[in-house]
Structure 1
């Protein structure tokens, strides 16, 4: 029997979601380009989802989508659409309508089984990526600029943090990031992220803990 030419499997992907609000398409394009310039290795030519919850029903979708595509991003879908006319315009443009789901709650047994730890005792160099699948990630040394830490669980960094850290990569919004010297290019939990210029100045280079509160990225002193 010949082998089937395809195989269908489930998988998880972490995508950036751009929330757009009522504004001229050119304003949106410029705002996105500024973000891309701040973190080109993370956002340049990246696949993204557009969330349109903040748009009015009479938004010129074709102009807005052209403005987003002009930045070089690849739009894979649209979420948060509640208006029938806007839905029709999105579907006509060839993009799928997506529903953002919350990560399912785990039982105590499942959580205990999933909490493993990957330990890195050496510096994480520029261009290096470390992924802690189904586990927490602990780095006891420094993380250089352009290095990337990804974990399905929590991330702990006990050296200088200058790269990117993405915790809760599988969608778990209860994950946190703990850092003793916070100076990252990008920080993210369950897809919610800040670029370096969004981190409050009083936490730059300081010990901090980041978590999600009501779905919003929040930062606290690490005491």
Structure 2
């Protein structure tokens, strides 16, 4: 880089929290966000937030959008833009200095989900966890490659993504992201640290900070740790804070998976 270069543009990949809006009732939105609990506000305070309006039912205007921005800022979020809005509202939003992200979040998530393993159709909410005796089939049978009788070449299988391995403890303030792969940490993740992966997260030490698996939308991703003390765990955007963790699962070796919209925590070696 030249000594005279004061700045340069580069492209990087970052994880971003998304707020999906289903109703236009701002009071209801505020109540539900505040109801996430004090731990959630502590973790997400000053976090960049993308607003996805694609699922929204009902008509909205620019004044409603400005009120939503004000509400989120009052709740200590940092809105960075909107997505899924009608074209006429995009123009008005940009005039107000609101960034418009021209991506179809729902289509991306749908395509990602189509590659994942099937999940049971019956939906269970957060307040109705699965019975410990319930078995969820999460394996897929693939046919063995056979030679084509007409001599045609079989398409190459995709190579499984490599894993990123971290040997040292992850200190407070550090963030590690394993893109398109699993993350393996052979030490502790301390309070205030954040580890993320598009695939699974394996932690062979105490997990005291935050661990996020499937951050690009993989619902079949899992978190494995030897000592659960986490500030926060999340899979494909669904999360639990420390205050949500069951006491009997703390300080235990566990695996965490996503079933429908609920995180399931199972003890290992039991």
Q: Tell whether the structures are fold-level matches, with TM greater than 0.5.
A: yes
1:198: how far off? 3.8
| Equivalent residue for 1:99, pick from 84, 104, 110 | 104
**8 A Cα contact 2:249 2:267, kept in partner:** no
Of Structure 1 and Structure 2, the greater strand share is in: 1
- In structure 1, the gaps of 5 or more residues are none
**8 A Cα contact 2:198 2:216, kept in partner:** yes
- In structure 2, the gaps of 5 or more residues are 1-6, 117-154
Runs (4+) off by over 6 Å: 5-8
- 1:116 corresponds to 2:163: yes
In the alignment, what sits opposite 2:4? Answer: none
Matches within 5 A, 1:34-183: 38=39, 42-52=43-53, 55-58=56-59, 60-79=64-83, 88-89=88-89, 91-94=91-94, 95-96=99-100, 98-100=103-105, 101-102=108-109, 104=112, 105=115, 109-112=157-160, 114-120=161-167, 122-183=168-229
Please report the TM-score for the alignment, with normalisation by the length of structure 1: 0.71
In the alignment, what sits opposite 1:13? Answer: 14
1:204: how far off? 3.4
Residues of 2 paired with 1:201 and 1:53: CA distance? 38
Secondary structure (helix, strand or coil) at the match of 2:204 reads strand
In the alignment, what sits opposite 1:184? Answer: 230
Residues of 1 paired with 2:209 and 2:156: CA distance? 33
Matches within 5 A, 1:178-217: 178-214=224-260, 216-217=261-262
1:90: how far off? 5.6
1:178: how far off? 0.9
1:27: how far off? 5.2
Residues of 1 paired with 2:59 and 2:156: CA distance? 47
Please tell me the root mean square deviation across aligned C-alpha atoms, in Å: 3.8
Moved more, 136-145 or 155-164: 136-145
Please report the TM-score for the alignment, with normalisation by the length of structure 2: 0.61
Residues of 2 paired with 1:130 and 1:61: CA distance? 34
> CA separation of 1:88/1:175 partners in 2, compared to 1, >3 Å: closer, same or farther?
same
Residues paired across the two proteins, number: 214
1:16: how far off? 0.6
In the alignment, what sits opposite 1:218? Answer: 263
